Amino acid sequence: MQSFASRYLVACCLLIVGAGGTFYVAKAKPHVHARPPDWSKVPLNVSLWQGHEEKVDQAIKTYLAAEQMIDRSFAKGDLKVDFAATFGTQWRSLHSPAGCYPSQGWQTLSRTEVSVPFEGIPGYAGPLHGEELFVEKSQNYRLVLYLYVFPGGTTANWVEQMSRVARSTAGAGGIVLIFDAPASVESRPVVANELHELLADVFPFMVRGWGNGAPG
C-alpha cells in the first residue's frame, strides 16, 4: 500500500500548475545536468527505526518528471511514519503538502514553520528549516513534517524553492522530503519530536554526493 505522502503527489502537481507553474516555466533557463544526490545507499533501517520499502508508482514519477523517488515507511514501537522523497531538476517535480492535504478533504488545524535540531554535515549547517501541518479528516488526525532541500540549505518556502529550481542554470535541482504520521491532539508533541529525530537521522543520506553534501 502506498504511503500517505506519495498518494498526494499527483494532486500536488495539479495544484502547482494552477498556482503559477506556467510563470516559472516561462522564466526558466535551460538546464545543464548536474550530479544528482546518491540515493542508492539510503539505509532501510535508521537508528531505532525499522524501514519498509514501498513500490514507487512509475506513472507518478513520470508525471512529476522526477529523477529519483523514495516511498518508504518507518516503524518504531507503535508509531508508523510514512516517508516520501522526490528529487528533480524541473519545477514540476516539487509539490506542497500545504495544498495537497486540503485538496483531499483534510482540514488544516495548524501550519507552523519549525527549525529541526541538526548537528550539521559538510555543506549543510543546522538547524533544518521545515514546516509542520496538523490535519484532520473524519476524526483522524495526522502530523505532517516537510521541507525543501537545495544544494547548501533547506527551506519551508515552496515558492522560493520552485523559483530556485526553475531558474537554475546548473540544473542542480531540488528535493522535497515528507514525513507523515498519525497523531492526536495529546500525542502531537511526542510525535513531532519523533519526526524531528527521524528527519535528522535520514537527512545526511538524502544529500549524499550532491553539491557539498555529506561524502559517500
Share of the chain above pLDDT 70, in %: 80
pLDDT of residue 5: 52
For residue 110, name the pLDDT band (cuts at 50, 70, 90). Answer: very high
Task: Give tens-digit pLDDT for 121-175.
Answer: 998 999 999 999 999 999 999 999 999 999 889 999 988 888 887 776 566 789 9
User: Other CB atoms closer than 10 Å to residue 13's CB: what's the count?
Assistant: 20
Task: Give tens-digit pLDDT for 51-75.
Answer: 999 988 888 888 888 889 999 999 9
Residue 28, pLDDT above cutoff 50: no
Residue 10, pLDDT above cutoff 60: no
For residue 114, name the pLDDT band (cuts at 50, 70, 90). Answer: very high
Long-range contacts of 83-86 (CB under 8 A, 24+ apart): 83/3, 83/5, 83/177, 83/178, 83/179, 83/180, 83/198, 83/202, 84/3, 84/5, 84/6, 84/9, 84/177, 84/178, 84/180, 85/39, 85/175, 85/176, 85/177, 85/178, 85/206, 86/9, 86/175, 86/176
Task: Give tens-digit pLDDT for 88-97.
Answer: 887 777 778 9
Mean pLDDT over each residue of the chain, to the nearest integer? 83
What pTM did the predictor assign?
0.84
- Specify whether the CB–CB gap between 195 and 81 falls below 8 A: yes
pLDDT of residue 91: 72
pLDDT of residue 36: 82
pLDDT of residue 14: 39
